[in-house]
Amino acid sequence: MARYVVLGAGAIGRGTARELAEAGHTVRIVSRSGRGGGIRGVEPVAADVTDATRLSEIAEGAGAIVNALNPAQYWKWDELWPPMAAAILEAAERSRAALVTVNNLYLYGRVDGPMREDTAVSPNGHKGEIRARMWRDALALNDDGRLRATELRASDYVGAGMDMQSVLNAFVIKPAMRGRGGWLPMGDPDAPHTWTSGRDVARLAARLATEPSDSPAWGRPWHVPSAPPRSMAQVAADTAALVGQPVRRPHRVPTPVVDAVGLVYPLLRELRETRHQFERPFVLDASLTEQTFGLTATPWDVTLKETVAYLSGTAA
């Protein structure tokens, strides 16, 4: 069995490390704090991910590096991502480890139909441009034969362990569990929306990391298999039915109010760029991934039950 390096000890990083370890591989999970232990076969390592030399040493002899990082300071991506991305590329090239990057859908910008892997990359803001640039840089090195690179693209997260990474967990499922409607900082409650289970992200990341060098996985992106779209109103109703609460429809905070609060609260200010994703149908097509790798999404009812159980536990 091989050895792999996972960058990031959040829910996606830990999930990917667990998938790889359960398949019999040895894994190093890297974070600034060195957390991420408690998983058999996974070694937590403390490191600064902007230090290419240190990352190269950690990745020496590894089959692949999985970049599952997600800077918590959302409003500082322009400052935080470039040095990390450059160090990761250098470490992958120097160590000869393949690179699998966990990405989102920001780089597609505003779309008029389901997003497939061949949908044009056309970001409508700086966060999308950062992620698009990261992919272009990795793809250029892949095409030059200097490393093997791929990335997986997921829609907005749902599931256990997501905490503040999930708009759906925080603004729809939690309030519905208490019999409340919840207040949405953005979005049409009735717009169909794809939600991606964190488990399915980890599963695909681990699968791509273990692909052989001649696999068609390299040099192109892959969409994470996700359950059929559900509007936020539907999710609220599903949650209420599951926990035995009355159905309460989510309410939308008026846009001028959100914009005004965003003047002093940077996270809300940054949500402007992604507002379009929630105001109209936002649907991910992962049929190519399903056909190529034989993977399917976790059923929606399973994901919702696990999410509710997790949120109930954290509340307790």
Look at residues 111, 188, 189, 125 and name the one whose alpha carbon lies nearest to residue 155.
111
Q: Over 80: is that where the pLDDT of 37 sits?
A: no
Q: Over 60: is that where the pLDDT of 316 sits?
A: no
Q: Over 80: is that where the pLDDT of 157 sits?
A: yes
Coil, helix or strand for 145?
coil
Coil, helix or strand for 286?
coil
In a domain, 95, yes or no: yes
Q: Over 80: is that where the pLDDT of 265 sits?
A: no
In a domain, 167, yes or no: no
pLDDT of residue 262: 65
Higher per-residue confidence, 268 vs 308: 308
What's the whole-number mean pLDDT along residues 250-274? 77
pLDDT of residue 34: 86
| Tokens 């040895």 -> residue | 26
| Tokens 């160090």 -> residue | 87
pLDDT of residue 263: 66
In a domain, 310, yes or no: no
In a domain, 136, yes or no: yes
In a domain, 241, yes or no: no
pLDDT of residue 162: 87
Q: What percent of the chain shows pLDDT beyond 90?
A: 82
Q: Over 70: is that where the pLDDT of 1 sits?
A: no
Look at residues 6, 2, 310, 313 and name the one whose alpha carbon lies nearest to residue 162.
310
Q: Find the domain containing 13 and state its range.
A: 3-157+198-226
In a domain, 307, yes or no: no
pTM (two decimals) = 0.95
Q: First-to-last CA distance in the chain?
A: 40
Question: How many domains does the structure of the chain reveal?
Answer: 1
pLDDT tens digit sequence for 274-284: 889 999 999 99
pLDDT class of 273 with cuts at 50, 70, 90: confident
State the CATH number of the domain containing residue 46.
Answer: 3.40.50.720
pLDDT of residue 2: 84
Contact 192/282 with Cβ under 8 angstroms? yes
